[in-house]
C-alpha cells in the first residue's frame, strides 16, 4: 500500500498565512499539518508516501526530506497547480501507484491516526471516512443505498438524504484503482475536467458499478482547514483533543 498526500494548492483563503508558506507547513500546536499527516501514516505501518506538490514545492520537499530521512517518498510536481483542482493531482499519481492499494488524503486535514486504522481494518476493501454531523452547502456529502454502498458523493446532493460528510480520507484497492484511473484519463485527457473535485470521478465509477463504502469516524477528531478561522479553531482544539 502507498499513501498519497495532495499538497499542490495555493490556499488563497488562508492568506496572509500562506503568502510565503504552503498551507500544509503551517504549525498546528507543536507540529506542522503535514508532519501530523505523515506521522499518522507511519503509525499505521505505511512507509511509501507519494506527495503531489505545486505551490512553494521546494519548501515542502526540503521539510519532508530533512525531517523523515528513512521514509520512501515520491514527489510529483503539479506545474498546473494554479489552474487545476485535486482531481489533476490525483491523476498524476497513476504510474507511481501502479499495482498498489492507495490511502488518499488532502494535505489540509488535521485528524487522529486511528481514522486510518479504522479504514484499514474495516470489512471493506474500498472505503472512505465519514463524519456524521449537521450538514450545510459546503461539505462533500454522502448518500448510500440499502446495502450502505455510496450512490452519491458531492457538495450538491440532497442534505436531507445525506448520512454525513466525507472528510477526505479514502482507502482504495488496486482493483478499484484500475477503474478509477480509466475514468480519470477520460475526464482529464479527453473532457478537460482538470479543475473539479476528485469526488466527481468517484461518483462516475460508482454509477458504472463500483462499490465504495463509508466508515463512520464521527467519534474521532478531524477537521479540514480552508480559512483563517478554521486554522484558529483547529489550533485551539488540537490542544484539547489530540495533543493531550
Residue 217's contacts (CB-CB under 8 Å, 6 or more residues apart) are 114, 115, 118, 129, 130, 131, 167
Helix (H) or strand (E) holding 87: helix 86-91
Q: What is the mean pLDDT of the chain?
A: 94
Band of pLDDT at residue 13, cut at 50, 70 and 90: confident
Contact present, 209 and 119 (Cβ < 8 Å): no
- Domain with residue 114: its CATH number is 3.90.550.10
Residue 47's contacts (CB-CB under 8 Å, 6 or more residues apart) are 71, 72
Mean pLDDT lowest among 34-48, 66-80, 130-144:
130-144
User: Would you state the cell numbers that stand for residue 218, as one nine-digit string?
Assistant: 464521527
Band of pLDDT at residue 243, cut at 50, 70 and 90: low
Contact present, 60 and 22 (Cβ < 8 Å): yes
The answer, yes or no, to whether the previous bond of 180 is cis (omega within 30 of 0) is no
Contact present, 169 and 119 (Cβ < 8 Å): yes
Query: Whole-model pTM?
Result: 0.94
How far apart CA 210 and CA 178 sit, in angstroms, is 11
Digit-coded pLDDT (tens) for 53-96 = 999 999 999 999 999 999 999 999 999 999 999 999 999 999 99
Domain extent at residue 186? 2-241
Distances in Å between the alpha carbon of 237 and those of 28, 40, 86? 10, 18, 27
Give the chain's domain count.
1
Amino acid at each position: 500500500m502507498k499513501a498519497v498526500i495532495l499538497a499542490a494548492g495555493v490556499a488563497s483563503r488562508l492568506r496572509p498565512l500562506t503568502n510565503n508558506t504552503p498551507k500544509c507547513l503551517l504549525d498546528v500546536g507543536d507540529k506542522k499539518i503535514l508532519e501530523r499527516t505523515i506521522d499518522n501514516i507511519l503509525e499505521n505501518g505505511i512507509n511509501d508516501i507519494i506527495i503531489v506538490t505545486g505551490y512553494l514545492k521546494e519548501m515542502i520537499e526540503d521539510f519532508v526530506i530533512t525531517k523523515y530521512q528513512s521514509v520512501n517518498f515520491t514527489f510529483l510536481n503539479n506545474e498546473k497547480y494554479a489552474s487545476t483542482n485535486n482531481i489533476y493531482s490525483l491523476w498524476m499519481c497513476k504510474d507511481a501507484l501502479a499495482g498498489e492499494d492507495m490511502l488518499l488524503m488532502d494535505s489540509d486535514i488535521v485528524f487522529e491516526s486511528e481514522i486510518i486504522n479504522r479504514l484499514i481494518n474495516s470489512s471493506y476493501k474500498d472505503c472512505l471516512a465519514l463524519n456524521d454531523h449537521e450538514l450545510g452547502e459546503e461539505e462533500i456529502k454522502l448518500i448510500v443505498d440499502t446495502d450502505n454502498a455510496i450512490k452519491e458523493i458531492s457538495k450538491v446532493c440532497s442534505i436531507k438524504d445525506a448520512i454525513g460528510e466525507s472528510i477526505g480520507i479514502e482507502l482504495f484497492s488496486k482493483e478499484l484503482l484500475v477503474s478509477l484511473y480509466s475514468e480519470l484519463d477520460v475526464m482529464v485527457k479527453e473532457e478537460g475536467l482538470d479543475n473539479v473535485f476528485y469526488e466527481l470521478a468517484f461518483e462516475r465509477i460508482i454509477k458504472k458499478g463500483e462499490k465504495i463504502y463509508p466508515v463512520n469516524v464521527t467519534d474521532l477528531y478531524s477537521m479540514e482547514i480552508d480559512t483563517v478561522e478554521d486554522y484558529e479553531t483547529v489550533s485551539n482544539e488540537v490542544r484539547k483533543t489530540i495533543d493531550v
